[in-house]
């Protein structure tokens, strides 16, 4: 992990974001520049995921068709029809299958010692090779081409110089923009030998996603999805993150359809054939409360530092159920109980 320039927090204190290799004694001033004793400041972060160095933003060749935010980092929003045309749906199948394939290949790279930046390079190149744009890149200013969320990081982790460690779990979230539409999918992978409690968390999280997908039925309210997910998580004494939700998707990365992963009767929008949205539950070992850490304004971690896992598919509501647009070639192509 290289040195990073110190940054200031909101109070103007100069903060060092990467700890030195020799940590202070408990009563010494903390390394981060907060002015507090080490034991009252960063000691509780020992064993937690710490930020590495983020490499410069990568470029995308001119021949790749880019989404409107690629140049500016600002995503214009417009009223996109919730029910898609057959033509859009066919293009979303292409984008979905591409994202699924790249996610599976990126997952095969996961091993102790590889950095999340190396995984980002792979996803970036693999996406461009296939003639697509990596949707996360510069979306609302996001600096990388994939999200890599390790252990207690809930989502939107930024790839950096941190090497994955034996026993970590890591979520990779891949989205491709091709043919004018997005396909969005993610999965959580094991790094080397992972403890049984974390393995169970990942297994139940994948099941939660499939319970949610099976609740996609035309004529039913979106709240059915959250109910199915929450019931399964609760049965395993696991928490459901509320701060991040599934979303409508199509020509825009995120549209106005909101898919809660917990039950709320106000989620009364009726699912109609032709609607496209994601189901992407984030499930926790402890509290579902989140907080932002790091100075990047992206990385969300659990409030108690316990681990969290996530799986995601992009879905199409059909006349009699659901079609998983990110299933072809996927890490998790069907529900475990249907395999």
Which positions touch ligand MF3 (CB under 6 A)? 136, 139-140, 142, 147, 156, 173, 175, 184, 247, 278, 280, 312
Could you say which of ligand MF3, Co ion, none residue 136 binds, taking C-beta under 5 to 8 angstroms by partner kind? ligand MF3
Q: Which stretch binds Co ion (CB under 5 A): 41-49, 210-218, 306-314, 323-331?
A: 306-314
At residue 304's C-alpha, the angle toward residues 299 and 309, to 5°, is 60
Asked if 176 and 98 touch (Cβ cutoff 8 Å), the reply is yes
* Sequence-separated (6 or more) residues with CB below 8 Å from residue 237: none
CA dist., res. 237 & res. 97, Å (int): 33
Q: Which of residues 112-171 bind Co ion (CB under 5 A)?
A: none
The three-state DSSP-derived secondary structure of 205-219 is HHHHHHHHHHCCCCC
Minimum CB separation from ligand MF3 for residue 322, in Å?
A: 18
276 binds Co ion (CB under 5 A): no
184 binds Co ion (CB under 5 A): yes
Minimum CB separation from ligand MF3 for residue 216, in Å?
A: 17
Q: Which stretch binds Co ion (CB under 5 A): 42-50, 214-222, 272-280, 319-327?
A: 272-280
- The residue count for binding Co ion (CB under 5 A) is 5
Give me 315's structure tokens: 């879905």
Could you say which of Co ion, ligand MF3, none residue 232 binds, taking C-beta under 5 to 8 angstroms by partner kind? none
CA dist., res. 69 & res. 78, Å (int): 13
CA dist., res. 233 & res. 227, Å (int): 10
Minimum CB separation from ligand MF3 for residue 300, in Å?
A: 10
The correct pick among 173, 206, 207, 251 for binding Co ion (CB under 5 A) is 173
| Residue ranges with strand state E in the chain | 7-8, 14-15, 133-134, 147-150, 153-155, 169-178, 181-190, 239-240, 246-248, 255-259, 276-279, 282-284, 290-292, 300-302, 308-310, 313-317, 322-324
Minimum CB separation from ligand MF3 for residue 135, in Å?
A: 7
The correct pick among 145, 278, 299, 326 for binding Co ion (CB under 5 A) is 278
Minimum CB separation from ligand MF3 for residue 139, in Å?
A: 4
């Amino acid at each position: 992990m290289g040195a990073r320039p110190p940054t200031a927090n909101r109070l103007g204190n100069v903060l060092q974001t990467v700890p030195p290799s020799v940590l202070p004694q408990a009563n010494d001033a903390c390394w981060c520049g907060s002015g507090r004793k080490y034991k009252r400041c960063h000691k509780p972060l020992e064993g937690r995921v710490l930020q590495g160095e983020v490499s410069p933003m990568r470029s995308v060749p001119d021949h790749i068709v880019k989404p409107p935010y690629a140049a500016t980092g600002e995503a214009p929003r417009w009223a996109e029809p919730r029910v898609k045309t057959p033509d859009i749906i066919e293009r979303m199948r292409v984008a979905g299958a591409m994202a699924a394939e790249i996610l599976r290949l990126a997952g095969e790279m996961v091993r102790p010692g590889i950095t999340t930046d190396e995984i980002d390079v792979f996803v970036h190149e693999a996406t461009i090779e296939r003639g697509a744009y990596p949707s996360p890149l510069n979306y609302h200013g996001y600096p990388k081409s994939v999200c890599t969320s390790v252990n207690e990081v809930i989502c939107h982790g930024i790839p950096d110089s941190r090497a994955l460690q034996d026993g970590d779990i890591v979520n990779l979230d891949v989205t491709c923009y091709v043919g004018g539409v997005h396909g969005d999918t993610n999965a959580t992978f094991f790094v080397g030998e992972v403890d049984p409690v974390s393995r169970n968390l990942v297994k139940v999280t994948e099941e939660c996603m499939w319970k949610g997908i099976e609740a996609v039925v035309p004529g039913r309210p979106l709240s059915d999805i959250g109910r199915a997910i929450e019931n399964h998580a609760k049965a395993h004494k696991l928490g459901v993150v509320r701060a991040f939700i599934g979303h409508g998707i199509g020509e825009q990365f995120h549209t106005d359809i909101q898919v809660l992963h917990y039950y709320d009767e106000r989620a009364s929008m009726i699912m109609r054939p032709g609607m496209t949205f994601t189901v992407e539950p984030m499930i926790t070992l402890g509290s579902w409360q989140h907080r932002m850490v790091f100075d990047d304004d992206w990385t969300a971690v659990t409030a108690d530092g316990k681990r969290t896992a996530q799986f995601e598919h992009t879905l199409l509501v059909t006349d009699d159920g659901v079609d998983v647009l990110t299933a072809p070639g996927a890490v998790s192509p069907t529900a475990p109980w249907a395999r």
